[in-house]
Structure formats: C-alpha cells, structure tokens
Structure 1
Amino acid sequence: MSDRAQTPPDPVDYPFATPQGIDPPAEWAELRQGCPVAHVRLPSGDQARLLTRYDDVRGMLADPRFTRSGPGSARMSRTTGGVFDGDSNPIPTSGDGHLRWRRLVTRWFTVRKMTELKPRIEAMAGHLIDGMTKQGPPADMVAGLNFPLPVWVICEILGVPDGDRDRFAHWSSTRMSISKYSQEEIDTATAEYAEYFTAHIAAKRANPGDDLLSELITVVDADDGRLSEIELLATGQGLLIAGHETTSNQLGKMFAQLLSDRSRYASLLADPGLVRTAVEETLRMDSMSPFGLPRFLTEDVEIDGEVLPAGTTVINSLAAANRDEEAFDGAGEIRLDRSPNTHIAFGVGPHSCIGQALARTELQAVLDVVLRRLPKLALAVPVEELPKREGMLVGGLERLPVTW
C-alpha cells in the first residue's frame, strides 16, 4: 500500500476564495496539473473529493450509477434546505422515476416553445433597458436588467403573476445558500414558498392556462401519468432556481467578460452573427461558479490511478474543467468564434440541465438587444472593483456598474 493511501493529505477548504476581477482561482489550474483528485473540506465541515480535469468531470457526470446524494453523503452547508440536500427533494434522482419526470418536464422546452418565447424575452429586455436609459448612466445592470428579466421569464413559464417576482427571487436565493442565509431564513422561505405554490397549483387545476405548470397538471400519458402534488411543488421550485438564479448570474458574468476587454464587445457590434458562439464561450469561461455538482459514489471507482471507495462524495468543478488545456485549445483565452465548443457548463448525462435551451435563448436574446440598444456600453468601474456575491452555490456579481 502506498504512503498516499496510508496518510491522505490534509483537506483544503472548499470552495476556494475568488480573486478580484474575473480571473479564476489559481487552485483550479494547480489541481488540474498536480492533484486532479483533491481532498477538500466543505463549509459544513464534511470532507469530499474534488475533480478539476475535463475528462474526469465529464465521465463522472455522465455515469448513470451516481446521483447527487446518498446515505451518508457529505453535507454542503451547516444549514439544511439547500438545493443539494437530497432528503428534501421528492423528485426521483435515478432510475425509471427520474426518467419519467424528465420526459414530462423537458417536452415543454422544445425549439418551438423557445422560438415563441424569444420575441417576448427581447421585448422585456427592451422595456428594462428603457428604464435604465431613462434614469441615465451610470446604472447597475444587475438590478436594471440581469436580475429582473429571468424572474419575469420563469414567472411566465410557471403562470405566476409578475407582481410576485420579488418573492420568487428571494425563495430561489435561499435554496442556493452556503452561508449567506441563516437556518431560520431558509426555513421561513421554504414554508412561504410551499404555501404560495400549493395555492397556485390549486388555482391552475381550476383554471389551466398556457404555461408549463398547467400542462404538467392536465397531461395524461399512458406511460408517464401525472406528477403528484409534492412532485409538482418540487418541480416548480427546481425550475424557479434553475430558471432564475443561474441565468441572472450568468447574464452579469457574460457582460463582465465582454466589457472587461471592450474589444470583445466591439467585435460583436461589428459582427452580431457571433452572438451564439460568444454566449457559449462566456459560459465556458465562467470563473465565478465556485462550487460545482456533487455526486455520491455507490461503488468503488478508480480515477487517475486512485480508487475512491463507495460512500465518497465527489464534487465536480465544471468551471475548472471548462478551462482544461487538454480539452480546449487556448483554454485560458476568450475566443468569441470558438467552434465547436464542448463546454459542460450545463452538465452532461442523465442529470444535465433541463432548462439549458431556455438559458441559451435568454442569454442570446438579451445580448442581441443590448448590442442594438447600447452600442457604447462600457464598465463604469475597473473590472477589479466589481463586487461579487458571496456565500452562494452559484457565484456572480452583486452589482455591474455600466455607462453608455
């Protein structure tokens, strides 16, 4: 037996501190090169293993044997009620039950639905930009555009009145907390959401509309049947988190990347046909996703010559993997025309993000509108002074001061 197996190294605290600006933590490259299966200590105090290489992360996420949690899996935070707390999620995470749930939900996110939705997203983006320009520069792009737009979109999809979007945003944030919210705040938000959405489901049963929730309530399928009440509740919350929290943060990160070197924004002004590939590249180059996706090993697995025993929790850093020099030519460079771009920002395999078509539609639509409406857009502060969100599973910017 090797010394390494007998005396494992001391775990390092995870997630890593992010540097100023939009550069990634130095630990990502260091671990990819020298310690691709690292011992880490999570905010809960529990220990896990961290993967940072592209092939390792992709292989782990694509393996249908492993889901995000299991008996004795590491806790992400000292609080409970977070998005990765497996015991709090009634939706099946594996097997036929999970496939049934994915079939029911993903058939709403079709190309036709996204095509129908895009003009409304563009119109809402234009409306929000009107509000920003009326007040004049400088403006906070997070508060003026990036935060409210995805909430509006997910409220549309779930058939929720637009006036309730602020509450929805708060409920979403609490589920993504590592240390930002107390247990009392999380418990209160969870109870408020359950009360609200239970009443909303009842209203949709009585008066269905043209929205995803109504379709999930009324659909009858010989193979899949219907979702139970608690599955509907969890599905609504899952879509709320995925449809708002991640997209609103990604909008800010996208514009920070494009404006930190304004020649990138100028390139898109000169050739708007680059919008699609530019969006994909900013997804790949995201440096403010501090955590990653957990997987629980139900059997021994060998990775990079090391056997990880069953019962291990593995954290997969998608953001670190997306900068792997072995997977991407010029991995540390932003290339707006990169194609193909095989990033894994939305995950891979049986648990990949079901709303990725929606996220891509929103990101492309907003970028299109901003390029048309604000051709002189620029950062109002040095990129090093952009304040980051702390204590959350999904990182981003608290504010994005811009001028035009």
Structure 2
Amino acid sequence: MSDTMSLATTASECLADAEEVGQVLIHGKCWAASDLAYLDPSQVSHFPVLCAEEVGRVLPDLDVWDAWPLADCAGRPIEWRGGELWFALAAPAFADPEERHGHARIHHFHRLGSKFRHLGVTMPEGLSPGSREWSGAARLEGSEVALYFTAAGMRGELRHTYRQRLFVTRSRLPTAGSVSFPEWSHPCELLAAGGPYQPADQSEGAIGEIKAFRDPFPWRDDEGRDYLLFTASSAAAPRAFNGLVGLAAWCSETGKFRHLPPLIDATDVNNELERPHIVFHNGRLYLFWSTQGKVFAPGLCAPTGLYGATAASIEGPWELLNGHGLVAANPENEPYQAYSWWVLPDLTVAAFVDYWGVDDPMAAAKPNGRDHFGGTFAPFFSLWLEGTNAGLATTRQR
C-alpha cells in the first residue's frame, strides 16, 4: 500500500446482506434485535472477577486503556527485545478518569511476560492532524513500523470536537539503546467517510453517543489482498443507533482504499461496534468487536462485552458467534470491570481495567470514581473457538 490520500467514493446505499463493489462481493450480517433473543443469560461466558493483585498500574500518574501489539500481517505480535512491543492510549491521571478521552495520546510499552514497562509517547507533539489520538493498530511492514490511528478533533482547535479521521504513519523500530522511534512519516489519510459511511464530524457530543469513523485495522487475506476495517456509522440510517463494522479494499490501480459494504450492520440495535479486528483460526475468519451495555437501543438488554462473528472468507456470509454475537461479558456483579478486548491469533485476549471493585451502576459518576478506575492493562485470558461457537477458556494467561 502507498501513502497516497484516499478520496471518498460513492455508493447507492448501505447493504448488509450482499453487494458487489468492483470484484468483491460482500455478504455482511445485519445484527438484529431478534438475534439478541437467543442470548440466554444463564449460558453467557463471564470474565472472572479481578482481585487487587491483578490490577497493577504501569505508572501511578498515567492512565492506560485501549491497547494493541506491533504485529505481522496475520496479527501475531512481533518478538522485540525478548518480549513484545505494545501501543495503548494513555493520558495523565485526572481526578475524573473520564477526562482522559480529551487528552489521549498513543504511548508504547515493552511487554515481558505479564509486565508492561512504559517507554514513552509514540509520536511527537504536532505530528497528528488531530487534537488527540484515538485507537488503531500497528504492523511491521517490511522493515517499517506502520502505525494506523484515529485523529480525533483538529490540530490547534481551541475547543475539542469529535471529528474522526483514519491515518497511517511510518517509522523504523527504535535503535539499540533507544526506546524512541526515529522520525515518523507525515501522516497520510487512509480513507475518507462517504458512501455507506456517515462522516464523524460532530462539534459536540458525549462518549457513547457520538457517531464513529475510527479504529482502523488492516487485514491481508491469504491471496495477498489488503483490506481496512473500522468502526463506523450508517449513512443510510442517520439516527441514534446505527453502528457498523466498516470495510474498505485496497485498489492497486488507483493506489487508494475504496469503500465496501459493512461487515456488520447494527442499525436500530447498537451505536458503537468498537475496535473491530480479525483473527484467522482453523480455516475460518473470526471478527471481534467490543461494545457497552449502555449503547444498545432502548428495550434491548445485552451486557458490556466482547462480541463477534465468523465467515469462511472476508466476503462472507458472516454469522454471529453463538447465534447472538456475545462471546464473553464482564462479571454480572462487576459490569464495568474491563473493556476494549483485543483477541490475538493464539486466542489470548488483552483488555484494560475500567471501573472495578464496584457493582453500583452509578459509581462511575460519583466523586470516588478515581478510586475504582483501573487505568491499566488487564490480565490476559484465553478463548475457545469451534465453528460458529465461542466462549471463554477457564484459565488466565500470565
């Protein structure tokens, strides 16, 4: 892929069942309220309740959340200095943890076993086109580190907005004796909103309610074709609950990504299908995303958790895992314990510790929210996958 800016393309409408764009026929999945009727609370896999010994902060004055590894084209973490190199959003530890979203920067960390060591802010001040940086992914492409990220807001804005755009920048691994990246390339826009995808250009909003065009994730299939997944909102249904898992394909003739129909369309079900990513396992593709109970449409009851779908190829047809999509949820008595799950090809699962040690739904809004906010890497867990079924394995990963 080149670093050429992509222009918006057009499409007649957003179809979640099947639509041909160029040479790619996409059979996505409409995530309907009727699918959630299959969700039996007694059969749900729940992450175990965390104990205090498992909530060790990286630094006392730094909150850490959404995380991803430097990986190869299949999503496998790259070995680096006896461990792995990880990226995550981070911000100073404010009295109100929710303030972190307005100050988010990408930082990098050295993972050795279950420990993460903070290495620093990843990109220099002023490189991003946004006023802050939101989630993405990282790939080792040849000898270069490609950092895919969301630019939130606009550089230099006096008041934070919620505009979201997808970018990539490139550098090389830190040299021996250094933990800082050499000079990053000028960020290049990957894909503009348009066609099936509503622009995320709100000047005001609230977390969980804003529209989405963020969380870029690159995927290469076994034939060497490159795709881009992202969290999106439906242009065909511009209303409160219109979340999508968006998809674009790289076109070598034009040197740009082009819009494809969404893989998952949750119109009238859910507003945010966050941080979508794909894992290949036993001959199938498994698509995962995170979502919160509070962003389901009124009248629908589903927990904060890791959700997913599966298909034999990127073209689909995509089927919800377990018939309803839920793979694993936070504990029933700890509904806010963790979030932003990231599944690796070996089926281990990373996340961050959110509000834990509390089962009061209002606790996050109380002055003692800081006392209950983890702001750190959660213990790794394991999944099992078998065809269209999935669940949480019983053992923690240390």
Q: TM-score, normalised by structure 1?
A: 0.25
Q: TM-score, normalised by structure 2?
A: 0.25
Query: 1 or 2, which has the higher strand percentage?
Result: 2
Query: 1 or 2, which has the higher helix percentage?
Result: 1
